[in-house]
Amino acid sequence: MPSPTLRRTLLFTLTAAAAGAAAAHVRAEMGASRRRLRAVAATSPYSRDGIFANTETGLPRQRTSIRTVARMLLRRNEVGTPSDPVRLAPLHIPAHAAPLAVTWLGHACVLLEIDGRRVLVDPVWSERTSPVPLLGPRRLYPMPAPLAALPDVDVVLLTHDHYDHLDRRTVRALARDSSATFVAPIGVGEHLRAWGVPERRIVTRDWGGATEVAGLALRCLEARHFSGRGLRRNTSQWAAWAVAGPEHRVYVGGDTGPTTAFARSGAAHGPFDLTVLPIGAYSDLWPDVHLDPEQAVSGHRDLRGDVLLPIHWATFNLGFHGWSEPGERLCRAAGSAGVRLALPRPGERIDLGRPLRPATWWSAPDH
């Protein structure tokens, strides 16, 4: 039997090894080094001293006490989770991409089919959106299908580097098992390089920049948000994207707060057959970070959009509102404004060449 001294030594060694492995994991999840991110930021007119910034001043924030915020945090799980298990749609993706179709895979992850090409937006297959194992926001329901069940995609389109939009494990799997080109805002490409994505498969652009991949024209557009995977914010760019094929145009909003950039993007690059806009995780505590449902409808109209697909809701509990509240408010606002909605259940594919039959799946009984 080992002596007490030997047992203590073994325990210390194992603890130190575990701590070292955990630290290495967190560091890998954070992505590129500060030095590499600063070097890229220095090339952008939208950054200063290595930090990116919005062009619009911040909106007034609600003043509240620490006690109120603590109460809101304690009630978050009570109001922000579904009362019953969410029924997922079986994944059915045809062999050939449609002229215009979309499959919502939960949160901000969508599979676009546009003029015969496929674009996978902000893919996150991990259980949690956090660099620390077993901590951070956890999925309220599983992904509708494993990543391997998806057909080949032409483009992996990224909007910014937050953990609920950029997932190291998913990126590495796509780099290994697909031939897709990764298109991202500047700075985000440094994370991809740090995770082993081949240089030839990375394309980065700043606001206003454009590229063409697989016959699709992609333009990086201004959004109103922030970035960062560590303690330091805004070390890489955040963006929306216009994706255009020969016949159809899609606006991918990623994460954004209300912004005058919608009207400019709509005038310059619209009209859009489909807008993909966030509607959840809004709060008076951060009014310029995320759209609320009414602001999404307003932004959709500024963008000169036809059909609006809501994202960034019902998947992770990131706000203080009720779980189904974003969908319910969106339906009311869209109805008043005469805006057409695509409301797929997680995993459901909607062919926009066919009549829309929106269903409030979050409140309808399962059969």
Reported as a pLDDT band with limits 50, 70 and 90, residue 6 is: low
pLDDT for position 15: 61
**Structural domain boundaries of the chain?**
86-351
Q: What is the mean pLDDT of the chain?
A: 93
Taking residue 11's Cβ as centre, other Cβ atoms within 10 Å add up to 10
What CATH number does the domain located at 86-351 have? 3.60.15.10
Q: Which of 333, 264, 250, 344 is nearest to 295 (CA)?
A: 333
pLDDT for position 17: 56
One-character DSSP codes across 93-131: --SS--SEEEEE-STT-EEEEETTEEEEES---SSBSSS
Q: Which residue has the higher pLDDT, 357 or 269?
A: 269
Tokens of 339: 């805006």
Phi, psi of 79, rounded to the nearest 5 degrees:
-100, -20
| Widest CA span in the chain | 78
Taking residue 138's Cβ as centre, other Cβ atoms within 10 Å add up to 13
For residue 171, what are the CA distances in angstroms to 126, 157, 204, 220?
11, 11, 15, 20
pLDDT for position 19: 60
DSSP state of 208: T
Reported as a pLDDT band with limits 50, 70 and 90, residue 367 is: very low
CB under 8 Å to 64, separation ≥6 — which residues? Answer: 285
CB under 8 Å to 157, separation ≥6 — which residues? Answer: 119, 120, 121, 122, 183, 184, 218, 241, 243, 252
Q: What share of the chain in percent tops pLDDT 70?
A: 93
Q: What is the mean pLDDT of residues 355-361?
A: 92
* Spatial distance between the Cα atoms of 278 and 140, rounded to a whole number of angstroms: 17
Residue 254: half-sphere exposure toward Cβ, Cα within 13 Å? 31
- Taking only the tens place, the pLDDT of each residue in 170-215 is 999 999 999 999 999 999 999 999 999 999 999 999 999 999 999 9
pLDDT for position 363: 85
Q: Which pTM value belongs to this model?
A: 0.94
Is pLDDT of 9 > 70? no
Q: How many residues make up the chain in this entry?
A: 367
Phi, psi of 43, rounded to the nearest 5 degrees:
-90, -5
Reported as a pLDDT band with limits 50, 70 and 90, residue 59 is: confident
Taking residue 50's Cβ as centre, other Cβ atoms within 10 Å add up to 18
Place of tokens 């809004």: 282
- Beta strands 340-341 and 349-351: pairing type? unpaired
- Taking only the tens place, the pLDDT of each residue in 132-147 is 988 999 999 999 999 9
